[in-house]
Structure 1
Amino acid sequence: MSKMIFINLPITDLARSTAFYEAIGGRKEPKFSNDQAAMIVLSDAINVMLLTHDFYKGFTGKPIADAHRSSQVILALSADSTANVDATVEKAASAGGKADPGPRQEMGKLMYERSFEDPDGHHWEVVWMDASAAERGASAFEEA
């Protein structure tokens, strides 16, 4: 089995957050969802665990940050095309998120990136990268 990632996010309104992530293309997994948490499947390897604050507190003794006011992590998802980047960000904005809290990054034919925040302020980037640029790595961007 390949490795999977489970991103645990503290959220203030489970129904609102579930609807948001479904609107941007996620699928709720009922087997791991209840009135305190919802598992949202983004791909075969990426899952977002939406946890109410009370439930989230059971996993850490640290205070929960207000993602509208501070940043701890920026999460990034790949996209198949620049059009898919735009579509994902627009879906996020239409579903109650915020489009482009970070700067757009347009690197010609090499890379295109936009971002969004979910209703709780969690910052996500959506990135398309040319396959040959990805294969060459950082040198592709130095040559551009």
Structure 2
Amino acid sequence: MITQLFVNLPVKDLKRSIEFFTELGFEFDPRLSDENGTCMIVNKDSFVMLLTESLFQLFTAKHRCDSKKCSQMAISLSAESREKVDEIVNKAIKVGGLEAAEPQNNEWMYGRSFEDPDGHVWAIFHMTESSASND
């Protein structure tokens, strides 16, 4: 059984990325952080490693794509309320992110997304209690 999730993302400017995500309220684990990368804490079992491009490249033989031009994935995070979705995305835009798509709004889920300074897409969503259950 998998016990923790670590997502590795290449970043062009580590300091700028740390400042951006700090503004969104994220914290970092200093034990897993140095001048080449940092461990951003999403929750007690989920983390995003923001790695300099040179360090990231050590983990793969594949070419890294330019995340400003193409997407390989979108990182989706659930929020506790619709208001929290708006708060996070509005703050991301205010501190240098870009809104990535039109808001998604239906009776069971509300979501918005933004691009961070490196072009990675982050989807923030809230689902109603009834949609999250497996009735």
Shorter-chain TM-score bucket reads: over 0.9
User: What's 1:122 paired with?
Assistant: 120
Structure 2 SS opposite 1:88: helix
Identity of aligned residues (%): 38
**Over 4 Å off, 4+ runs:** none
Structure 1 unaligned spans of 5+: 138-144
Which one has the bigger strand percentage?
Answer: 2
Cα distance in 2 for partners of 1:48, 1:122 equals 12
Which one has the bigger helix percentage?
Answer: 1
Structure 2 unaligned spans of 5+: none
User: What's 2:130 paired with?
Assistant: 132
How many angstroms does 1:2 deviate by?
6.9
Cα distance in 2 for partners of 1:35, 1:2 equals 29
- The size of the alignment, in residue pairs, is 135
Letter in 2 for 1:107: N
How many angstroms does 1:33 deviate by?
0.5
Cα distance in 2 for partners of 1:124, 1:130 equals 20
Cα distance in 2 for partners of 1:133, 1:31 equals 38
Q: Which has the larger radius of gyration?
A: 1
Cα distance in 2 for partners of 1:85, 1:105 equals 11
User: What's 2:89 paired with?
Assistant: 89
Structure 2 SS opposite 1:6: strand
Cα distance in 2 for partners of 1:27, 1:93 equals 19
How many angstroms does 1:103 deviate by?
2.5
TM-score (norm 1): 0.89
Query: Counterparts of 1:1-144 in structure 2 under 5 Å?
Result: 3-99=3-99, 101-108=100-107, 110-136=108-134
User: What's 1:140 paired with?
Assistant: none
Letter in 2 for 1:119: P
TM-score (norm 2): 0.94
Q: In angstroms, what is the RMSD of aligned CA positions?
A: 1.5
Structure 1 SS opposite 2:113: strand
How many angstroms does 1:78 deviate by?
0.3
